[in-house]
Structures are given as structure tokens and as C-alpha cells.
Structure 1
Amino acid sequence: MSESNRAFGQALVKSLVGERGHLPIARALPDITVELAGKRMEGAPYTIYQLLKHMSYWQNFLLTYLDGGKPQLPSSVEESWPSEGEPESEDEWQLVIKQFLQGIDKAISYSESMQLDETLTHFPTETKAGILRNIASHNSYHLGEIVLLRRLFGAWPPPGGGYPA
């Protein structure tokens, strides 16, 4: 692996984890209760639960390309948003968080091990780096919405503080 590939991979890792620009994503989620995850804010189109499920949907969709697969494109972006506004239980909510963070770990592993300028078999106009950058930017965008909802609900900062480490 070239030095430039390694350096870019490390930049992607920082973006995937959340560094300098915002709180590390793993610190913004674990203390969210099942009640807070499903709480509705007047005027907000979705709950924290719906945001994280949507983030997971697209993260898994894009990781499928990096796994060598070809994900099924939804007929509408609405399919990537859950209709239910809250998790059924604390166990379900914890599983949603765990699976999302496992996807981040997988993306980090790919950032550190793949030849990032290679194109994808099932998406030849995109590189592996482009997919990883898309995951990082999409997650960062929606993490900002989660943080905003937490602030509006008076559930901020998380334990350990609300600013980048």
C-alpha cells in the first residue's frame, strides 16, 4: 500500500470516527435512552431512532459495494426511513446502536486496508475512497441532527462532554 493511500486512509478514519470537526460518533449515541430515541419534537420530521436507522440503512448499503456486492437500490429514498418512530424495546435500541457502530468499525478497517483509488466492480464510476467518504459525510450530516435534537430535548452533553476530544 502506498504512503499516499495510507495517509488518505487515515484521513478517512478520522472522518468516520468523528475528529476535530465534531464529537466522536461513538460518544454521541450510547447514553441515549429508548425514550429519548423515540421522542418527537414538534416540527422535526423524524426521531433520533429514525435518524440512526436511516444512517444504518445507507451505511450498510454502501458497505455492500465494498464487500464486492451490488445492493438493491430502493425505489424511493423514503424506503430508507423507518415508518415506526421509536424502538420497540431497550434491547432493540441497543442493538441498533451496536450494529451501526459495527458498520463504522468495518468502514474503518476498509479505510486502513483497501487500495482506495480502485473502482468498484458494481459501481465503476466510484472509487472505494469515494464510498468511504460518502459514508463519513452522510453520518456526519445526520449526527449533527441527532446532536441538535438532543440539545433541544435538554439531553446534551453526553457523559464526558459534548466537544471533540
Structure 2
Amino acid sequence: MDMQKQIVKSLKDLLLQGNAHVTLTDAIKHLPADMRGVVPDNMPYSIWQLVEHIRITQWDILEFSRNPHYKEMNWPHDYWPKETAPRDEAHWKKSLDKIKEELHDFIALLEKPEAALFEPFAHGDGQHLFREAVLIADHTAYHTGEIVTLRRMLKCWP
């Protein structure tokens, strides 16, 4: 296996598996619907807000990585949902489906034969595809850990 394929395989594993962390799928498994929007005392957000933040940020990184005409979002306003809970089950499911779909869209960028993993984007400030893949993995793992913490605080961790 050539070096590019080995690196892409390692990045895919990092993006799709928990490795040393709980996966987002496992962190939200069996989460009672009525707990999605609860903001525990002394905490700034709910599990829903964390899930949506993961989705929004992942989309932004994907868009930055594939669109040379990318328009920067306003931090932090555009990255955090205002509502503390999903409107309904369909809203919750749509967010989770988009996370999965757009993660696979990002992986498709990595898997392109012409993917230049370490070549800086023309529109970036030295960022490249490898860096953005690690950023998605790190960001998701960090906030997934927060979801686990909130579940423990809410006494709804299996």
C-alpha cells in the first residue's frame, strides 16, 4: 500500500472510529428524548446544542475544504444554535443524518486519487486537507466527551 493510501486509511479510522474516545453514535445511544434539550445547572449548553455545533462546524470545515469560494462564518454566532432543544424527533434525526452524510462527503474528498493531502488550499492560510481531517476528528471527539459528561450530570448515561 502506498503512503497516500496509508494516510487516508488512518484518517478514515480517526474520523469513523472512537479509538480512545466514545463515538458520537455511542454517546447519544439510548439518550431519552426529553434530555436532549436540558441545560444542567452551571453549564452553558444542552446535548442538542453540542450535536448541532458538531454538525455546523463539520459542515463548515467540509465547505472550506471543497469550495475555493468559501465564505467565512461569524464566530461564535454562526456555530452555535440558539434553541436548546430540537423541534421534534425529525429535527434531531435530520441533524444526525447530516453529520453522517457530510462526514462521508469529507472522506470522499480524502479518497479522491488527485487529493493533495498536504498542499495548502489556495483560499486558506496554510490549511490543507490532512489538517482539516484531523480538525474534524479532534473537534468531534472533544464535544462528544462533553455530551458524555452532560449525560452523567443528567443521570442518563447507561
Match of 2:2 in 1: 3
1:91 Cα offset (Å) = 0.9
Match of 2:131 in 1: 130
Asked if 1 retains the 8 angstrom alpha-carbon contact of 2:22 and 2:144, the reply is: no
Match of 1:67 in 2: 66
Asked if 2 retains the 8 angstrom alpha-carbon contact of 1:46 and 1:85, the reply is: yes
Deviation string for 1:47-74 (max 9, x for gaps)? 0111111111111111012223433223
Unaligned runs of 5+ in 1: 158-165
**Aligned residues, how many?**
156
CA distance in 2, matches of 1:155, 1:49: 14
Structure with the larger strand share: 1
Q: Relative to structure 2, which stretch is displaced further, 126-135 or 115-124?
A: 115-124
Q: Counterpart of 1:28 in structure 2: which amino acid?
A: A
Q: Relative to structure 2, which stretch is displaced further, 78-87 or 118-127?
A: 118-127
Runs (4 or more) in structure 1 with deviation over 4 Å come to: none
Q: CA separation of 1:106/1:28 partners in 2, compared to 1, >3 Å: closer, same or farther? A: farther
CA distance in 2, matches of 1:129, 1:98: 24
Q: Relative to structure 2, which stretch is displaced further, 43-52 or 72-81?
A: 72-81
Asked if 2 retains the 8 angstrom alpha-carbon contact of 1:30 and 1:97, the reply is: no
Unaligned runs of 5+ in 2: none
**Matched residue SS, 1:119:** coil
Asked if 2 retains the 8 angstrom alpha-carbon contact of 1:15 and 1:136, the reply is: yes
Deviation string for 1:58-110 (max 9, x for gaps)? 11111012223433223331331111111111111111111112122222333
Match of 1:153 in 2: 154
Q: CA separation of 1:102/1:11 partners in 2, compared to 1, >3 Å: closer, same or farther? A: same
1:153 Cα offset (Å) = 1.6
Match of 1:161 in 2: none
Q: Relative to structure 2, which stretch is displaced further, 80-89 or 62-71?
A: 62-71
Provide the identity percentage: 24
1:30 Cα offset (Å) = 4.7
1:116 Cα offset (Å) = 1.2
Match of 2:94 in 1: 95
Q: CA separation of 1:149/1:137 partners in 2, compared to 1, >3 Å: closer, same or farther? A: same
Report the aligned-residue RMSD: 1.9
Match of 1:55 in 2: 54
Q: Relative to structure 2, which stretch is displaced further, 17-26 or 7-16?
A: 17-26
Q: Counterpart of 1:60 in structure 2: which amino acid?
A: W
Asked if 2 retains the 8 angstrom alpha-carbon contact of 1:50 and 1:86, the reply is: yes
CA distance in 2, matches of 1:107, 1:29: 22
1:115 Cα offset (Å) = 3.0
